[in-house]
Each structure stands twice: as structure tokens, then as C-alpha cells.
Structure 1
Amino acid sequence: MKSSRFGPARFVEPLRRRNVRMAAVMMMVVIVMVVGCSALFHHMMALEGREYSWATAVYWTLVTMSTLGYGDVVFESDAGRVFSSVVLVTGAAFILVLLPFVFIQFVFRPWLNSREAARAPRRVGDWAEEHIVLTGLDAVTDSIIELAEYEGAPYVLIVPDLAEALRLREDGYQVMLGDLDDPQTYRRARAEKASLVVTTQPDTTNANVAFTVREIAPEVPMVATANASASVPVLQLAGCTEVVQLGDALGRALARRVVGVDSRAHVIGEFGDLRIAEANVSGTIMAGRTLAETDLDARAGVNVIGVREKGTFAVATPHVRLTSRMVLLLVGTDEQIAGYDGGSADGAVLDRPVLVIGGGRVGRAAAAALEEAGLRPVIVEKRAERILSGRAYVEGDAAVLEVLERAGLDKAAAALVTTHEDDVNVYLTLYLRRLRPDLQVVARATRERNVSTLHRAGADAVLSYASIGAAAIWNTLGWRPRLVIAEGVDVFRTPMPRALRGRSLREVQIAKRTGCQVVALNRNGQFELPDHDAALPSDAELLVIGDEAAEQRFVERYAGRR
């Protein structure tokens, strides 16, 4: 058992370590000075023919050193006054300067630090049950916290550094101070009662965390992130129930957004038997028409739930006029999606390359997904050690026009910008858009604040580690899974609000009032397309699409009246 960190012992603990020697040395120096000066006082007074007790000698030394100078015991000779001056200067240096420094450095500051440490909780309360335990704050866990707060799910964030814990606590996070490799940390976090434990540290740290958690909570679901594919089985052996390779997940998600090679529907997600797909308007007869004029729901049975153009999402309304730069968001069964491809799309896949700029984990995963879809990726990579055999590479800097021309920019159907530096991605997106205004550009963002910048630079779609990783981890809970359509645009599930029960979608006009669109209804695990004229059942869930602002309006208007 570890000794308690609470109580009087914690205030003197620093003095029992390296600081106690320095404090003891300083005190000994002061004592020696007082004794030495008192002895010299006796000698100097004897030279003047006077005699005082040792108590008076110590009294005179302390009064002189502290600069009080009462004047009741003084020297009459010049030698005595010189001696008094030396004692005065020496005492001022030690008693008035060094002793306060010793006190502040070795007594007051450790005590103050102990009080600061007490402000950072080292355990959670009894409220922690069915909560989420997170190890450290990064872009992914920050997004998970946002989802948890939105869904009303409790969480605790474990931080090993005191200063960071205090800062995060002041910022409003539910923080607990503790070492990630200490079993007591997870006991205090009540990990055995958690609904999920999430660790997003480096692979080696994740393995240690998994072993440590399994010692405390052998049955609790646990999700870890992995940078290397070789780490996946190791983390599973360590006790992780789910391992998410963020680089692979992001690369494949970026690849699924490539629609410039044809006009067919490309499935990007699914809920039960329903598929969410994207389809390019270019290459179809729909360009220039309104959605009502296309009559897609009657001809193919699919519902158009939204459109994207130049990075901007809008819900689908009958009066939306389609342009060749738009991408349709469709929902339907496999048969309905196939019906769309057969009746509205040109099934031929254009034999044009897809540029993948960046040959790291994300770029390689995107290229692999494109190859699986029958497309022809060409990776542009300037670091020779990243160029692997068995795949089309062009070595060089993508900011150089000659390199892009060798990669086939003039014939490319799309470009994926996958480097890990947002500044580089913004630059390359802007460069590609200037060189090829008609090119579909899908970009990766590392920081959420750069998403809008990438859209302004010309990206048709933007995805990030944070959104893809948070959604993948959140969906393992099985509460209300989410699908990331694009950065800031999600498909989410919600219980039927009380204000909508028994009313039809045509009557309530959700899209007009909130900017969200109802995608489907979920009845006992069966997803079905909504009938806009039928009354909404009270026992069903809604599947809704919208951007962040629209989702917030939906929550404010309806979620409080479930």
C-alpha cells in the first residue's frame, strides 16, 4: 500500500528529500556566525575593560545582525565600532536575505505546491458509473469529450502532469491527476465501473495502459489507437477489445470521398440495410435541373438528403438547382443505389489517375483503398525512404509543377492531399485549385481550426484525425453511432422528440427550421426511409444529417422535449 498523500506529512515531504541538506547547512552557518560573533564580542569588550554575560553577547549579536540596534550595549573604541559594522553587514546578508530565501524556497514553496496539488483531484466521486475513462488530452480525445458532453455521458480525463491538470480543470474539463502506468490511478478512476476506457498514447504506452487497466477491470471495453499495423495484435493481446488505426481509417475515409472518376454512387457509410452514398452530378443529365425535376425518388427510390459544393453542405430541398460541381448525398438500400447507378449515372470508370500527395500512413492507406475500388492512384512523395515497390510513385516535391506533371496532373480525376502539416496542405490545395480549377480536391486537416481555411483554399472535402478517430471510438459504445460525412457534417441518431411524435415531416418542416434533414427512421434496429406524409411514431429513433450549427439548432429546438 502506498502512503497517503494527504495530511501533515505531505507538507514536510519535500524537506525530507534533497532540500533538507541545504536548509540544515544554512542554519548551521547562521549558528556558527552567532556563536563566533558572540565570542569576539566578549574579547572586544574585554579590550575596553568591560565584561558582559554570554546571554548579553548573543543578544547584542542578534540585535546587530537584524539591524534593530537598540543602543543599550555599544562599543566606545574605533576597533569595536569596526567590528560592529562587520557584524551588521554580515548579519544583514544572512538573516535578511539568505534566511528568507531558504524559508521561501524550502518551506513555503513546497507547502504552496502541496496546496496546488490538492486542487487537482486524485480520484473520482461516486457519480462515476457507466462513464468514459480517457488517458490524456489530444485532438481525438477532445472530440470524444465534446460528443460525451453533447450526449450527456460522464467522463474522466486522466492527466499525469500537475500543471496540465490544473490548467485543464480551470478550462472546465473533468480531470483526475494520476500516472498512466499506476494501477491505483484506475482504481481511483473507478475503471471497473466504466462503460469504456480509451487510450490514445503512443503504441508502447497504450500496451502498458491496457495491461494496467486489465489488472483492475478485466471486463470493461477498451479502445486503443495504433500507429503501426504491427501494434494491432500486440494491443489486442494486452487486453484491448478494439484497436483503431487512425492513419488507415483516415486514409480510407479520404479515398471514399473521391467521386470525380465517374458519376456512380460511392457508399461512404451504412446504417442497417440503408447505405449513405455520394454521387457526382458531373457526367449526368441532372446538371442544370432542380431536384424536383430529376424525380430521383420515383425513378430510383433513393432519397437525396443533401448536396455539397466547394466544401459547403446544404440540405436537399425540391428547389435546389444542381450544378456540375455538386456532389449528391444519397440514402437507400443496395437495390435503390444500384437503381440510381443504372438510371442516372454513367457507369464507365474513367481511366484517369488519382493523385495522392504524401506517402505516409494516411497516403498509403488511401492509395490501397483506391486500388481496391479499381482506381489508379499515383503517390507523390519527396522522401525517398518512403517510396515502396509495388505501387505507382513519383518522387519529388508536389509544390514543383514538373513533379505534378510527371504524376499526371493534367489527366487526373482527383487529388488527395494527405500530409500531416496543415500549412503544407493549405498551400498545395490552393496550388492544385489554381492549376486545375475542375479537379476534385480532398484534403486532410490536423487541427480543426484549419478546416475552414482548407475549404477557402479550394478543397471540396476535408477530413481530420479528430473527427474520424472520435467517431470510430465513439461508435464502439453502441449508444448512438455517428457517421462523418465531411468535417463538421455528421449523420447522427436521436430518440424521437416529444414535439415531433404523431406529426408528419411535411408538417413540422425540420429542414426549414433547423437546417437538418431526416435521413431515416429506426424501429427496433430496422432502418427505413421516412414517409414525409405519415405520422412519426413515438417509439422510433430519427437518423438526422446536418452541420454543427444545424445540429445545435435541432438540439435546442427538439432535444429538450424528448
Structure 2
Amino acid sequence: MKFLPSQILYFFQNKGSQRNLAALAKFFVFLLCMVTLYSVLFHLIMLYEGKEYSWITGIYWALTVMSTLGFGDITFHTDLGLLFTIVVLLSGVVFLLIMLPFSFIQFFYAPWLEAQTRKRTPRELVKGVSGHVIITHLDPITERLVEKLKRRGYDYVIIVADAQRGMELHDQGYKIVVGEPDDPDTFLSVRVEDAALVVITNDDMMATNISFTIRGITAKVPIVAAADKEHSLDILNFPGNTQVFLFMKMLGESLAERVRGVGRLTKIVSSFDQLHIAEIPVSQTSLGGLLLTETMLRTRTGATLVGLWEKGQFEALHAKTIINKSSSLLLAGTLAQLDCFEEKFIITDLSSEDDKLVLVLGGGRVGLAASQVLDGYGVKYRVVEKSSAVVARGGVNFVAGDAANRDVLIEAGIENARAAIITTHDDAANIYLTFYCRQLRPDIQIISRATNERSVSKLHMAGADLVMSYASMGANRIMKVFKPDEGSLFIEGMNFFVQQIPGALVGKTLAESNVRQETGCSVVALRMDGELLVGPDPTLPLVKSTELILIGNADAEKLFGEMFGER
């Protein structure tokens, strides 16, 4: 109730509300005049019938008849009086029972609710906010980005054009400001000049409009934009955007790079300076069934074994961990160290698969990008696509039909394919196709795209060997622009981050710190005196100026912060 006076003041100060109230007042004046007229006629007809009543009685009779209550305590007995009663009754039904409620709702109640909604939703950021991220559109990428910003304690605000939608998001816990995303006043209200980054994921035309709007206010704030079409890159770069990403194309290229036999055997999933994070199936190495302490991996190659990854689940390593043959290894090291690992531990010869093709299910932007990468590596491929127009443009490597049809898949060559890349934008269809392909070919490598985070675990359950999230990929790239010293992997839930050495660890060696045992985070590199030491010597004393480069899942990162102080 304490907000009621401010809501009333806001409502009556609004020009639209003032016009609505004026129209409603005119209608009430009209009803008053009608009741007055009926009251006068009531007296005249009653005098004609030889009866006399007070003026209050006339008003009482008119209102009871118009509202259809009709108590029957006062009635006419002549035809003239009865005819007059019918006219009053019908006009009351129309004006009092039909038009009055609708007029009240249209000119008062609906505007009042709208005013309450507008008052509840923020219209500007509070004073003093700076270094925040401004998001102009909420979609799977920016939803994931918000999660990352919240977890790291960074300020953000989402611009929402629709007040009702803004209230819904506000009630869900999002920080929002209601305003048109192409209005300069909106960006002034979110303090764009003090922001650290603006993220634009609207369509290409609106993104261009927003970019020019921002550049009309400030030239210094970095802007990250997502482009839908490749020919939009030059246009979106024109307003001075810091980064423009073709996320669909990037996702397709990343999916293709993860096919066995394409590119490196150890698949690099993220990089930080000279440090690279790579993944490789244990089945392609000689490490299956060994204890971690038996591998001597760091001593023999310099690379660090960070953990095991199996069907979307990450397992941190301990001294007694047995390396499961069905898992994938997550390694950290320089390119030279990863090359050394391949030389010493790779046992699988993939040359037998060189002549086997790769199926790409879906010929959209992601599928086309994947096929271009495969073509660049000289890998045979077939794209299965429903659209005849896309198939006609694609040529002999395209097969027309529904990928959910067994005959179409057999025609495309699934019986002898080495891998299937599932690229449709519909997660439900991807789950279905993953399970279907796994039933047809239990031994095929299946790599699937997921648009929403909630579909990742389902795709692994359906039989996918690898799932790459569109939302996570986009959010990770944006975070890399926002905080270059922090990164996330394409492997879901894993992050690497930079931490100034906590005071509790100064003077200790890595072996004495027990960081991995106590938090689940792995120290994969040190930065000392500007030099990056990848796979550092565990007996090296840690000095005060040292920066730790760590990797771990969200829970491990949180535990590290709780034990050694927030970053």
C-alpha cells in the first residue's frame, strides 16, 4: 500500500490517462443527464396517473429500472407509464449494464493496470552504476550470458521494449529497464557512457539501428553484435562495433572440427595465450585402465591431465582415479606439449576412416558451415536436407528428404559413415535424430547441436558422443571480449579463470597447496614476471606476484572462491 500514492500520482500525471478520464467523465455526465430526464418524466407521468412522489423517489425509481433490479414497490398503471418503463429498462440495459462496464474498463481499469505495470518496472539505472553490461535482447545466448555474469558478480541490465514482458522478467529476477532499444533516451537511462560492454543480439536491421543509436551518444563503449547473415558483417562493423560474430557459422565449423580424423587428434576446445585446452577419447590412447599416478603424463609430456569427460559429466582427477576407456581426456598444455602427448600416447590409426563419409543432417546455416569445413579438409560428406531449393544449390553432396526417414539415411550412406553431425535448430528434432541414428549405427560418432542448455543432457542420454551448445558458445565468446583473462570451454560447465595468488598460498609449492584435492580446480599454468609457465613444476615455490590459471566446473570455481577469497 505504501506505493499506492506514487502510483496514483503517476497515473494522473500521464497525458493518456488524463484523456481517458475526460472521456469517462463525459460518459458519466451523459448518464446523469439521462437519469435526471427519466426522473422528471417519472413525475409528469405519475401526476397524469394522479400520484405524487418526491424527487428522491424519482431518481430511485429510474436507477432501479435502469439497473433491472425492479423492486416493484413503485409502478405505473397506464399504457403510457408502462411504455415509458420499457424505454427506461432497455436504455438502462444498453447504457448502464453494457456500455458503462466496458467504458470503465477501457478508460480507467486497463490504463490503471498499465500504469501500475509501468511504475513497477524500472525506467532507468540507479545512480553510481558503472562497468556494467547492457543487453538489448534476451535469447538463449544472452540468457546464458546473464547466468555467467551473475555467477561472477558482474552488473548487467537488459533493455525490454514491452512493459508487460519487462514486468515478467523483473519478477523472474532479471535486472531490466523498460525502453525502446533504438531510442537514445533509453541508452542514456542505462548509463551507456559508463558501461563496460553493449551486447546486441537483435536481427541484423535492428542491430544496425541500435549500433548507430549508441554511437550517436558515445564512441568509447565496446559493442558486441551477432550477425544472422554473412553479408551483414560489413554493415554491422560500420558503426564501429568492437566485435561482430556469426555464431551460426562458428557453431557449424566447431561441430565439423570435432569429427574423428578431421584436423588434430587432440581437439583444441579453448585457448588462453599459449595455453590450449584439448579433448581426446581415451579409446584412442594407451591410457585406458591406468591409475592417474601410473600415467606420468606431466613428466613425460609437460601437459596436464585436467579431468575425464563422459556423456556430459565431468570427473575431477585424484591420485587413485582409474582412467575409464569410455571417457574422454581433458588436457591442458602448449601446442608442443600436446604434440608430444600425441606422439607418446596415441595408439588409434584413423587412416582406415579416410574414405568414409560424414553425414550432416540439416542444410541450414550451421549445416552449410560444417560442410564447408569438411570440404576444406578433403573429407567426403553428404548433407540431408528437406528443402529442394537448398538441395538444388548444394549439388551432388546434398540428398533431398527427411533425415527421420530410414530410406533417406541409407541413401545418404549412414551404413558406412564415420560420423553424423546433427545441426537442425529444433532441439526436439535433434534428440529424435540422435536416438534414431544411434539405433541404426551403434558405432557411429554422433555430434549434435543444442540450442538451449536444458537439451544438452537429453542429447547425451539419446546417444550423442558430443553436444555443442549454441547458447554456451555465444555466451563464452562474449565473455571473452568482456573479460579476456577469463574463459569458458565448449565443454558444458567448465571454465578457466585467472586468480591472483591468495595470501594463504604464498611461499608454498603447488604440491603443498592441495588446490586440486580441496577445491576440484586444477592449476594448469602460472604467470610469473610476465612469463606464462604451462604445466608448471609442482615443486616450484609460489611468490606474491604469481597469477594462477585454473580450470574447473562451476562448483569447483565457487569452492575455490570460498576457500581462498572472492576474486
Q: Does residue 379 of the first structure (1) align with residue 383 of the second (2)?
A: yes
Residue of structure 1 in register with 2:141 after alignment:
140
User: Which is worse superposed, 536-545 or 464-473?
Assistant: 536-545
How far apart in 2 are the matches of 1:472 and 1:163? 31
Residue of structure 2 in register with 1:353 after alignment:
357
Against the structure 1 CA distance between its residues 192 and 261, is the aligned structure 2 distance closer, same or farther, given a 3 Å change threshold? closer
Is the Cα contact below 8 Å between 1:290 and 1:320 reproduced in 2?
Answer: yes
SS of residue in 1 equivalent to 2:486:
coil
Within a 5 Å distance, the mapping from 1:345-494 to structure 2 comes to 345=346, 349=351, 350-351=353-354, 352-387=356-391, 388-389=393-394, 392-494=397-499
Shift of 1:374: 4.8
Percent of paired sites with the same residue: 37
Shift of 1:216: 1.4
Within a 5 Å distance, the mapping from 1:480-519 to structure 2 comes to 480-519=485-524
The counterpart of 2:16, out of the listed 13, 28, 35, is 13
How far apart in 1 are the matches of 2:505 and 2:396? 53
Deviations 1:291-311 (A, max 9, x none): 433333233222222222333
Code of the aligned partner of 1:370: L
Code of the aligned partner of 1:489: M
Deviations 1:210-266 (A, max 9, x none): 111111122210011111111111111133221111101212222333336698323
How far apart in 2 are the matches of 1:559 and 1:373? 47
- TM-score when scaled to structure 1? 0.87
Residue of structure 1 in register with 2:314 after alignment:
313
Is the Cα contact below 8 Å between 2:12 and 2:18 reproduced in 1?
Answer: no
Deviations 1:27-59 (A, max 9, x none): 46424523532442353244246789xxx65x4
Shift of 1:89: 3.8
Structure 2 stretches lacking a partner, 5+ long: 1-7
Code of the aligned partner of 2:185: Q
Structure 1 stretches lacking a partner, 5+ long: none
How far apart in 1 are the matches of 2:156 and 2:273? 29
Residue of structure 1 in register with 2:117 after alignment:
116
Code of the aligned partner of 2:62: M
How far apart in 1 are the matches of 2:274 and 2:125? 41
Shift of 1:186: 0.6
Shift of 1:426: 1.0
Shift of 1:78: 4.8
Is the Cα contact below 8 Å between 1:260 and 1:280 reproduced in 2?
Answer: no
Code of the aligned partner of 1:533: T
Is the Cα contact below 8 Å between 1:11 and 1:111 reproduced in 2?
Answer: no
Code of the aligned partner of 1:381: E
Residue of structure 2 in register with 1:520 after alignment:
525
SS of residue in 1 equivalent to 2:306:
strand
SS of residue in 1 equivalent to 2:552:
strand
Is the Cα contact below 8 Å between 1:357 and 1:418 reproduced in 2?
Answer: yes
Shift of 1:22: 7.1
Is the Cα contact below 8 Å between 1:210 and 1:238 reproduced in 2?
Answer: yes
Q: Does residue 556 of the first structure (1) align with residue 559 of the second (2)?
A: no
Residue of structure 1 in register with 2:61 after alignment:
64
Residue of structure 2 in register with 1:246 after alignment:
247
SS of residue in 2 equivalent to 1:482:
strand
Against the structure 1 CA distance between its residues 513 and 77, is the aligned structure 2 distance closer, same or farther, given a 3 Å change threshold? same
Code of the aligned partner of 2:296: D
How far apart in 1 are the matches of 2:45 and 2:113? 45
The counterpart of 1:544, out of the listed 544, 550, 562, is 550
Against the structure 1 CA distance between its residues 484 and 76, is the aligned structure 2 distance closer, same or farther, given a 3 Å change threshold? closer
How far apart in 2 are the matches of 1:75 and 1:312? 83
Residue of structure 2 in register with 1:225 after alignment:
226
Code of the aligned partner of 1:547: N
Q: Let me know the Cα RMSD of the aligned residues.
A: 3.2
Residue of structure 1 in register with 2:257 after alignment:
256
User: Which is worse superposed, 42-51 or 519-528?
Assistant: 42-51
How far apart in 2 are the matches of 1:526 and 1:413? 42
How far apart in 1 are the matches of 2:75 and 2:440? 94
Is the Cα contact below 8 Å between 1:221 and 1:241 reproduced in 2?
Answer: yes
Code of the aligned partner of 1:300: T
SS of residue in 1 equivalent to 2:389:
helix
User: Which is worse superposed, 144-153 or 291-300?
Assistant: 291-300
Code of the aligned partner of 1:66: L
Shift of 1:209: 0.8
Deviations 1:301-330 (A, max 9, x none): 222222223333223445443454332222
How far apart in 2 are the matches of 1:457 and 1:76? 81
How far apart in 1 are the matches of 2:501 and 2:443? 42
Q: Does residue 531 of the first structure (1) align with residue 537 of the second (2)?
A: yes
SS of residue in 2 equivalent to 1:459:
coil
Code of the aligned partner of 1:278: E
Residue of structure 1 in register with 2:3 after alignment:
none
Residue of structure 1 in register with 2:4 after alignment:
none
SS of residue in 1 equivalent to 2:138:
coil
Residue of structure 2 in register with 1:301 after alignment:
302
User: Which is worse superposed, 386-395 or 76-85?
Assistant: 76-85
Code of the aligned partner of 2:367: G
SS of residue in 2 equivalent to 1:343:
helix
Code of the aligned partner of 2:250: A
Deviations 1:322-347 (A, max 9, x none): 45433222222222222223333357
Is the Cα contact below 8 Å between 2:43 and 2:58 reproduced in 1?
Answer: no
SS of residue in 1 equivalent to 2:315:
strand
SS of residue in 1 equivalent to 2:358:
strand
Code of the aligned partner of 1:434: Q
Shift of 1:540: 3.0
Shift of 1:377: 3.5
Residue of structure 1 in register with 2:5 after alignment:
none
SS of residue in 1 equivalent to 2:130:
coil
Against the structure 1 CA distance between its residues 261 and 209, is the aligned structure 2 distance closer, same or farther, given a 3 Å change threshold? closer
Shift of 1:130: 1.2
How far apart in 1 are the matches of 2:86 and 2:57? 13
Question: Runs of 4+ in structure 1 displaced over 6 angstroms?
Answer: 73-76
How far apart in 1 are the matches of 2:260 and 2:35? 87
Is the Cα contact below 8 Å between 1:66 and 1:95 reproduced in 2?
Answer: no
SS of residue in 1 equivalent to 2:527:
strand
Code of the aligned partner of 2:426: E
Is the Cα contact below 8 Å between 1:65 and 1:90 reproduced in 2?
Answer: no
SS of residue in 1 equivalent to 2:128:
coil
How far apart in 1 are the matches of 2:254 and 2:233? 19
Against the structure 1 CA distance between its residues 331 and 76, is the aligned structure 2 distance closer, same or farther, given a 3 Å change threshold? closer
Shift of 1:399: 2.4
User: Which is worse superposed, 543-552 or 237-246?
Assistant: 543-552
Residue of structure 1 in register with 2:331 after alignment:
330
Is the Cα contact below 8 Å between 2:267 and 2:278 reproduced in 1?
Answer: yes
Is the Cα contact below 8 Å between 2:117 and 2:164 reproduced in 1?
Answer: no
Against the structure 1 CA distance between its residues 411 and 101, is the aligned structure 2 distance closer, same or farther, given a 3 Å change threshold? closer
Is the Cα contact below 8 Å between 2:45 and 2:81 reproduced in 1?
Answer: no
Against the structure 1 CA distance between its residues 147 and 74, is the aligned structure 2 distance closer, same or farther, given a 3 Å change threshold? closer
Deviations 1:364-396 (A, max 9, x none): 222223344454333222322223447733333
Matched pairs, number: 549
- TM-score when scaled to structure 2? 0.87
SS of residue in 2 equivalent to 1:339:
helix
How far apart in 1 are the matches of 2:396 and 2:494? 33
Is the Cα contact below 8 Å between 2:384 and 2:400 reproduced in 1?
Answer: yes
Is the Cα contact below 8 Å between 2:159 and 2:176 reproduced in 1?
Answer: yes
Shift of 1:509: 2.9
Shift of 1:60: 4.0
Within a 5 Å distance, the mapping from 1:77-88 to structure 2 comes to 78=78, 82=82, 85-86=85-86
Is the Cα contact below 8 Å between 1:196 and 1:221 reproduced in 2?
Answer: yes
